Structure 1
Amino acid sequence: MKSPIAFVLIITIAILGAIVVNLMSTVSPALAFAAGAVISGIACLYAPQATVTVATKEEEPPQSKTIYVGNLPYRANENDVKSLFGEYGEVFAVRLMKDKRTGKRRGFGFVVMAAAHADDAIDALNNNVYGERTLKVREANDPKKREHS
């Protein structure tokens, strides 16, 4: 047996063959099913084999990277951070964290930008002074990639 799909295909063709043969003649349903199974088995031997390729996320290079930005001035907004990182490449999104209770900014956030330019932005902006504060910039931790020990 080559694959589960081939098995299902053979059974389906056999049942359809049995119905057609049974309608066209006075042959018993069991004999019609057997004839359909033999015919579909022969057809599957000579049919071209289909190959299914499944692409996984790990095989493709990431199109974007998420960057952690810490020690931001509290008055900085999303547009300010977007234009700061925009000097180094395309910025897709900026998310600055706020306190749930007060709604005030917490001084850190995340920037999603093109993967090709993310490392340049990290190198240029890490430990750089912005708004009288020294930024901490690095690639954000991916919880899926953390090792559990």
Structure 2
Amino acid sequence: MQKSFLIVLIVAALGAFAIYQFMPTLPAYIAFAAGAMIAGVVFILLPDAQAQATETEYTGPTMTLYVGNLPYRVHEGEVKILFGEFGPVNSVRLVRDRKTGRRKGFGFVEMSEAGAKKAMTKLNDFTFQERTLKVREAKTQDGEGQEKGDE
């Protein structure tokens, strides 16, 4: 957020300066107002560009990981950031109790196969928010790990 505000402030100042240079007879306050409007447009469009860049789904080989012993208050976004350090993350599903809606302390992360292998190595027994994570390849319902041909 602070980075975006700084960008908008710089764009407003540069826009006001450029407008004032091209039209020196224009009062400075009008040039600044025009620069601020340009900056507003940049501010509106900037978060959308960042969201589109981060929301693209990985289409190569993927693996689903089981993540156990998660803190009960953790959010999907925090888990996505943690696992995103090792490769592209397609989805994070934290399991909730059907009756109470409370998280059960485990979930599943679907991510690139290469990233998942790195994440399993680095994050298994890793302390995250005062909990020691257990990270394994997720099992299918027939009890075996997912293979490329099983999907």
What is the aligned partner in structure 2 of residue 91 from structure 1? 89
Aligned runs of 1:48-59 on 2, under 5 Å? none
* Equivalent of residue 111 in structure 1, options 105, 109, 112: 109
Paired with 2:104 and 2:129, the residues of 1 have a C-alpha distance of 15
- 3-state SS, counterpart of residue 86 of structure 2: coil
Aligned runs of 1:1-149 on 2, under 5 Å? 63-144=61-142, 146=144
Larger radius of gyration: 1
What is the CA-CA distance between 1:144 and the residue it aligns to? 4.6
Paired with 1:135 and 1:97, the residues of 2 have a C-alpha distance of 15
Paired with 1:82 and 1:69, the residues of 2 have a C-alpha distance of 12
Q: In structure 2, what residue type is equivalent to 1:77?
A: H
What is the CA-CA distance between 1:145 and the residue it aligns to? 6.3
Paired with 1:135 and 1:145, the residues of 2 have a C-alpha distance of 21
Q: Provide TM-score, normalisation by structure 2.
A: 0.54
What is the CA-CA distance between 1:117 and the residue it aligns to? 1.3
Question: What is the aligned residue count?
Answer: 86
Paired with 1:108 and 1:83, the residues of 2 have a C-alpha distance of 16
Paired with 2:68 and 2:142, the residues of 1 have a C-alpha distance of 21
Paired with 2:131 and 2:118, the residues of 1 have a C-alpha distance of 20
Aligned Cα root-mean-square deviation (Å): 1.7
Q: In structure 2, what residue type is equivalent to 1:84?
A: L
Q: In structure 2, what residue type is equivalent to 1:124?
A: K
Paired with 1:134 and 1:144, the residues of 2 have a C-alpha distance of 27
Unaligned ranges ≥5, structure 1 = 1-61
Q: In structure 2, what residue type is equivalent to 1:92?
A: N
Q: In structure 2, what residue type is equivalent to 1:95?
A: R
Q: Which runs of 4+ in 1 moved over 3 A?
A: none
- 3-state SS, counterpart of residue 83 of structure 1: helix
